[in-house]
A and B are shown apart, each in its own frame.
Chain A
Amino acid sequence: MEYFIQQMINGVTLGSIYGLIAIGYTMVFGIIGMVNFAHGDVFMLSTFIALIFLMALTQILGIGSLAVALFVVLIAGMLLTSLWAWAIERLAYRPLRGSFRLAPLISAIGMSIFLSNLVQVTQGPRNKPVPSILSDVIMLSSGVDGYAVTLSYKQILIVVVTIVLLVAFWYVVQKTALGRAQRACEQDRRMAALLGIDVDRTISLTFVMGAALAAVAGLMFMIYYGVVHFNDGFVPGVKAFTAAVLGGIGSLPGAVLGGLLIGLIETLWSAYFSIDYKDVATFSILVVTLVFLPSGLLGRPDVEKV
């Protein structure tokens, strides 16, 4: 039982990270119907930005307070990752809007290859071990058979930050003019343009918001795993995409729900079956969902039009 609770805690932590990345996929798909293949690599880039900023702050500027450092890293990471996403959208996707269906997807795959190799070239191909931070744990219960359930400060931080950001994000999408413009573009881009919404700007801001959340996920990922690598974009990217699909692509609560489910499934699968095949399990969920439940758990069914 203790073992199970521990796995649930780990799963929710991992699921929060996937959920944050998944929102980027689901929003972009919702608004322009495109799988933003480079999103996983934007996430990977953000882990590096977070790492470099954290080290610059602690080593070069010598900031002692970890809380201040993390906060600055979070804000700077969100801004710079957003800038990257904005530039990518402007350069690689916007010229292809209105082109045929595969063109943006190929461009996105090219961007994904470019980003991961850019980081490899500029930062080197090795694993980067991150100086461990926030590794203290709280004992929740010490089991009878000596197995203790622990909750680390990292995990608390990850879940709390995720919840706070989701609430803020929810507010933006539901209550502000930007959110209304986004939802309008999602329903009918041409009509939205006729009503005076700057569609290009709204789409850019969608990419920017997705990237900002991915940057948060990047910082959390770096803290949680303690190691970053240039190739870390692909697999978490596909898993987050799986989360978005599982929750119903285009649906924001669905992305979070999907992220939590994927996190839990992956953790429990590794704990009870086989750690080697955990990625196979996730990919299988992707296949099964798309084949049998294409609209996901919370998505709207897709009507085939002639």
Chain B
Amino acid sequence: MAVDAAEPPRTALRPLAVLKDALGTALLALGLAVPILALRTEQNISNELILQPRWNYVAIAVLAAFMARLLYLLVPALPRRRKASRKAGPRVTGRAISVAGLVLLVAYPLLALALVGQGGAIKWIDNFGIQILIYIMLGWGLNIVVGLAGLLDLGYVAFYAVGAYSYALLATSDPVKAFMAEWLGPNFWPLWAFWICLPVAGLMAAFWGILLGFPVLRLRGDYLAIVTLAFGEIIRLVLINWVPVTNGYAGITSIPRPTFFGLPFNASDSGFAAFFGLPFTPLYRTIFLFYVILALALLTNWVTLRLRRLPVGRAWEALREDEIACRALGINTTNTKLTAFAIGAGFGGFAGSFFAARQGFISPESFTFMESAIVVAIVVLGGMGSQIGVAIAAIAMIGGTEILRELDWLKRVFGPDFEPTHYRMLLFGLAMVLLMIWRPRGLVAFRQPSIFLRERRAVRADMVREGHG
């Protein structure tokens, strides 16, 4: 751990010093908790603010801080086994994990169906499966920009929004509907809109990626991050304020849902269930959506892996390591950066259009900076550039916060007012900080360099940055 490395090894434990340290932490926690935790501002009936004392919460916080610090100081001092097999780990398991993960993903809806039955399965496939896969796909898409090309993009949600609004606006626009009805019959557009708009939305997003990429070509590091953040916010504010087109805060409703290549998922005679002679249930649509997003995510992964072997992928990685050396070698950094932005944005657009189709309703609320931050956190926590790492981070962070929705038994412990979902983002933020301190280079910090001179070696990401491998 980074923290431990900086401190000298504690050979002997001095109980008094530890106690003093922990008391200091408790005192600090008291100082931090008093203003914000001790008194809660509430509005009374006549709309005036009153203060509600809650000193018991402060006591809990102080005690928790004391115990946490005590544990933190005591645990490393306990004798523990050396982990001998650590070095050999990642080389063998990388491929096995991918295959096992893939099999698990493909079988997941059936597994959920078998384990919890039809009623519960929708929730597990939709809330967990589809939700996590959307973020895996966004993570893989952003990984091209952040992980491969090393351009920190804090406005990725802009392309997600462009994709979602492209599909939503095209599918619900009256002129397009009228045009299609005239040329291809009245049933064509509602049934095929998703499949036609999906590539269009991806292209639109890629186009916006280039458009927003142009002005920021000269910027690097934190400045680039802030400018992309500003772009993301500008797009969201335009979506809010350009009411005639986007309907503002109210959003766009009744977006056509995806069909099974022309067969709608409804109870009608021409629907999916009737066509295959099955009893109608809403489950089919959910399962189908799961496989659509799985296919889209795998497409993203496959394209990324192939691109890494092309000259442009090599150029991205070179750009990430050293931009000046890159330029000296005659690599066209403008094109390299723009392709990274465009391709990354394109996949964001696909994911966005899928999101719009899955929800059937979109509004600017879904495209806040928080989404960008979550995706960036997934990429960085996963270990920049590592595809498996991104997937693991997405499962851990999104699955971990989604699981809070299931923790109703906590109400029995903390009383009926306790709502675990309120703590979702709180824990998410805390997890981001703690994971970063624990593993600053991400969960999977090992990365195979995609090109090497003689022998194949697994190199730690920090060594790659320093020029080894």
Partner-B contacts on A (CB < 8 A): 33-35, 45, 48-49, 51-53, 55-56, 59-60, 76, 80, 83-84, 87, 91-92, 95-96, 99-103, 105-107, 109-115, 117-124, 126, 128-131, 234, 238, 241, 245, 276-277, 279-280, 283-284, 286-287, 290-291, 294, 304, 306
The smallest beta-carbon distance between A279 and chain B, in angstroms, is 6
B184: Cβ under 8 A from any A Cβ: no
Segment touching A, from B167-175, B279-287, B419-427:
B419-427
Flag if A123 contacts B36 (CB, 8 Å).
Answer: yes
- Bound CA span A119–B49, Å: 16
Flag if B50 contacts A83 (CB, 8 Å).
Answer: no
Interface size class of B (residues with CB under 8 A): 35 or more
Known interface pairs A102-B384, A129-B43, A280-B238; 9 further A-B residue pairs with C-beta atoms within 8 A, sorted by A's residue number: A95-B3, A101-B221, A110-B430, A119-B36, A123-B41, A245-B226, A283-B231, A287-B215, A290-B223
The smallest beta-carbon distance between A214 and chain B, in angstroms, is 14
What residue of chain A has the Cβ atom nearest to residue B328's Cβ? A306
What residue of chain B has the Cβ atom nearest to residue A117's Cβ? B426
- With A103-B440, A112-B429, A123-B41 known as contacts, the answer to whether A279 contacts B237 (CB < 8 A) is yes
* Residues on the A chain within 8 Å of B229, using CB: 238
- Bound CA span A98–B91, Å: 28
Q: Mark B366-383, 1 if CB is under 8 A from A, else 0.
A: 000110010011001100
What residue of chain B has the Cβ atom nearest to residue A46's Cβ? B35
* Residues on the B chain within 8 Å of A128, using CB: 41, 43, 49
- Majority DSSP secondary structure for residues of B touching A: helix
- Bound CA span A110–B435, Å: 10
B437: Cβ under 8 A from any A Cβ: yes
- Bound CA span A289–B60, Å: 47
Flag if B50 contacts A59 (CB, 8 Å).
Answer: yes
- Bound CA span A84–B2, Å: 22
Flag if A113 contacts B223 (CB, 8 Å).
Answer: no
Flag if A51 contacts B41 (CB, 8 Å).
Answer: yes
- Bound CA span A299–B61, Å: 43
B28: Cβ under 8 A from any A Cβ: yes
Set A105, A110, A123, A131: member contacting B152, Cβ < 8 A: A105
B87: Cβ under 8 A from any A Cβ: no
- Bound CA span A48–B240, Å: 28
- Bound CA span A124–B231, Å: 30
- Bound CA span A306–B326, Å: 11
Q: Mark B1-41, 1 if CB is under 8 A from A, else 0.
A: 01100100000000000000000000010011011110111
Flag if B49 contacts A83 (CB, 8 Å).
Answer: no
B126: Cβ under 8 A from any A Cβ: no
- Bound CA span A104–B431, Å: 14
* Residues on the B chain within 8 Å of A110, using CB: 377, 428-433, 436
Flag if A238 contacts B230 (CB, 8 Å).
Answer: yes
The smallest beta-carbon distance between A67 and chain B, in angstroms, is 21
B456: Cβ under 8 A from any A Cβ: no
The smallest beta-carbon distance between B143 and chain A, in angstroms, is 13
Flag if B432 contacts A106 (CB, 8 Å).
Answer: yes
Flag if B436 contacts A106 (CB, 8 Å).
Answer: yes
- With A105-B225, A124-B41 known as contacts, the answer to whether A49 contacts B441 (CB < 8 A) is no
B334: Cβ under 8 A from any A Cβ: no
What residue of chain A has the Cβ atom nearest to residue B152's Cβ? A102
Set A34, A280, A306: member contacting B324, Cβ < 8 A: A306
Set B31, B41, B225, B384: member contacting A55, Cβ < 8 A: B41
Flag if B41 contacts A117 (CB, 8 Å).
Answer: no
Flag if A121 contacts B426 (CB, 8 Å).
Answer: yes
Set B28, B40, B48: member contacting A123, Cβ < 8 A: B40
Flag if B222 contacts A92 (CB, 8 Å).
Answer: no
Q: Which residues 56-99 in B have Cβ within 8 Å of A in the complex?
A: 57
The smallest beta-carbon distance between A32 and chain B, in angstroms, is 11
Flag if A130 contacts B49 (CB, 8 Å).
Answer: yes
What residue of chain A has the Cβ atom nearest to residue B212's Cβ? A287
* Residues on the A chain within 8 Å of B238, using CB: 280
- Bound CA span A100–B150, Å: 12
Flag if B428 contacts A96 (CB, 8 Å).
Answer: no
- With A55-B41, A83-B31, A290-B227 known as contacts, the answer to whether A109 contacts B51 (CB < 8 A) is no
* Residues on the B chain within 8 Å of A276, using CB: 240-241
Set B43, B422, B437: member contacting A126, Cβ < 8 A: B43
- Bound CA span A304–B333, Å: 16
- Bound CA span A51–B42, Å: 12
* Residues on the A chain within 8 Å of B31, using CB: 80, 83
List 9 A-B pairs, minimum CB-CB distance, nearest first. Answer: A110-B432, A113-B429, A114-B429, A117-B426, A110-B433, A283-B230, A99-B440, A103-B440, A49-B35
- Bound CA span A111–B28, Å: 17
Flag if A35 contacts B234 (CB, 8 Å).
Answer: no
Flag if B433 contacts A52 (CB, 8 Å).
Answer: no
Q: Mark B129-170, 1 if CB is under 8 A from A, else 0.
A: 000000000000000000000001000000000000000000
